[in-house]
């Protein structure tokens, strides 16, 4: 066998093996044949959803001394200092936002969200929703939800009606819009008493496990009361949670929440 002949034969053998190999990959083994709909175009692949970083489980407020700090009427210039205070102490709170302020300070709304706080609805113009018409209520709530969504990407599930003023009509609309109503158990009247020491005293005296504390981040005197309130309550074993966490997840739309009853596993009102 001369050289070129050998090369040709080897080449032919290699080719045969290659062709056989290629054919065998095209021919599925018995039992592996899957029916294929030939006429239909392939469905577009769903876009992969961004995976959020894993969150630690929320505190179990049926066992712990939970308290929810809530701040109304902002955001305003003083909100930035409050966010620093909360971040330094790793405390999360709930902000009931006035829609027109969200439109003025979208950066602060975004910071609230990025800080892990809960963002909630407090009407667009701080309106008395309990006395408002259906059209007015819907307008106030829809505009606020939209302003908050635009600023932070979040659509709130909680509403605090300004002045705590509610009605059957508001209840129906909030149920339809997926909003639970949140009132409060501790009110230091900080809008009236622009006095840091007074606000500290009033809050610290009144807090019990499961309570919701109402303050206003638009008042610098209230913002300055927060460090001492947090430090004292933390020393007493309190755990700071958002309002939704206080009630064990997502509060029921249309329902009214004032405080968590101790030992209540579901956190129903």
Give the residue carrying structure tokens 């709304």: 109
Beta carbon of residue 110, minimum distance to Zn ion (angstroms, whole number): 21
Beta carbon of residue 161, minimum distance to Zn ion (angstroms, whole number): 9
**For Zn ion, the closer CB: 72 or 245:** 72
Set 190, 216, 217, 219: catalytic member: 216
Nearest to 251 by CA among 174, 138, 193: 174
Nearest to 248 by CA among 236, 230, 264: 264
Q: Which stretch binds Zn ion (CB under 5 A): 20-28, 69-77, 78-86, 228-236?
A: 69-77
Q: Tell me: does residue 73 bind Zn ion (CB under 5 A).
A: yes
**For Zn ion, the closer CB: 106 or 164:** 164
Phi, psi angles (nearest 5°) of residue 106: -60, -30
**Tokens, residue 23:** 């054919």
Beta carbon of residue 120, minimum distance to Zn ion (angstroms, whole number): 11
Residues with Cβ < 8 Å from 35, sequence gap 6 or more?
none
**For Zn ion, the closer CB: 89 or 104:** 104
Tell me how far apart the alpha carbons of residues 260 and 58 are, in angstroms, rounded to a whole number.
15
Set 72, 121, 190, 217: catalytic member: 72
**For Zn ion, the closer CB: 66 or 218:** 218
Q: Which stretch binds Zn ion (CB under 5 A): 71-79, 178-186, 195-203, 223-231?
A: 71-79
**For Zn ion, the closer CB: 97 or 239:** 97
Beta carbon of residue 91, minimum distance to Zn ion (angstroms, whole number): 21
**For Zn ion, the closer CB: 127 or 229:** 127
Q: Based on the residue annotation, tell me whether 105 is a catalytic residue of this protein.
A: no
Q: Tell me: does residue 99 bind Zn ion (CB under 5 A).
A: no
Beta carbon of residue 73, minimum distance to Zn ion (angstroms, whole number): 4
* Site residue total, Zn ion (CB under 5 A): 3
Q: Which of 66, 68, 71, 72 binds Zn ion (CB under 5 A)?
A: 72
Beta carbon of residue 72, minimum distance to Zn ion (angstroms, whole number): 4
User: Which residue minimizes CB distance to Zn ion?
Assistant: 72
Q: Based on the residue annotation, tell me whether 195 is a catalytic residue of this protein.
A: no
Q: Tell me: does residue 121 bind Zn ion (CB under 5 A).
A: no
Per-position x/- string for 139-178, each x denoting binding to Zn ion as judged by CB under 5 A, each - no binding: -----------------------x----------------
Bridge partners (DSSP) listed for residue 240: 67
Tell me how far apart the alpha carbons of residues 144 and 156 are, in angstroms, rounded to a whole number.
9
Active site residues: 72, 216
In the complex, the residues that contact Zn ion under the rule CB under 5 A are 72-73, 162
């Amino acid at each position: 066998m001369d050289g070129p002949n050998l090369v040709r034969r080897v080449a032919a053998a290699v080719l045969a093996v290659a062709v056989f190999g290629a054919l065998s990959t095209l021919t599925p083994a018995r039992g592996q044949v899957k029916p294929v709909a030939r006429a239909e175009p392939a469905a577009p692949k769903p876009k992969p959803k961004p995976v959020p970083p894993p969150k630690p489980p929320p505190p179990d407020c049926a066992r712990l001394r939970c308290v929810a700090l809530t701040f109304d009427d902002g955001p305003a210039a003083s909100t930035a200092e409050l966010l620093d205070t909360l971040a330094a102490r790793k405390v999360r709170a709930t902000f009931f936002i006035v829609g027109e302020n969200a439109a003025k300070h979208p950066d602060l709304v975004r910071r609230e969200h990025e800080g892990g706080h809960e963002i909630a609805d407090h009407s667009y113009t701080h309106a008395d929703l309990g006395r408002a018409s259906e059209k007015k209520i819907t307008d106030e709530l829809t505009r606020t939800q939209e302003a908050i969504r635009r600023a932070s990407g979040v659509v709130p599930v909680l509403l605090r009606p300004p002045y705590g003023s509610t009605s059957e009509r508001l209840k129906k609309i909030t149920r339809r819009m997926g909003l639970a109503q949140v009132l409060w158990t501790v009110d230091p009247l900080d809008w009236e008493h622009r006095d840091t020491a007074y606000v500290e005293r009033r809050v610290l005296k009144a807090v019990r496990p499961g309570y919701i504390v109402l303050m206003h981040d638009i008042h610098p005197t209230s913002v300055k009361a927060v460090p001492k309130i947090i430090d004292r309550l933390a020393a007493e074993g309190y755990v700071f949670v958002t309002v939704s966490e206080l009630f064990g997840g997502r509060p029921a739309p249309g329902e009214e929440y004032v405080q968590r009853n101790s030992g209540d596993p579901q956190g129903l009102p």
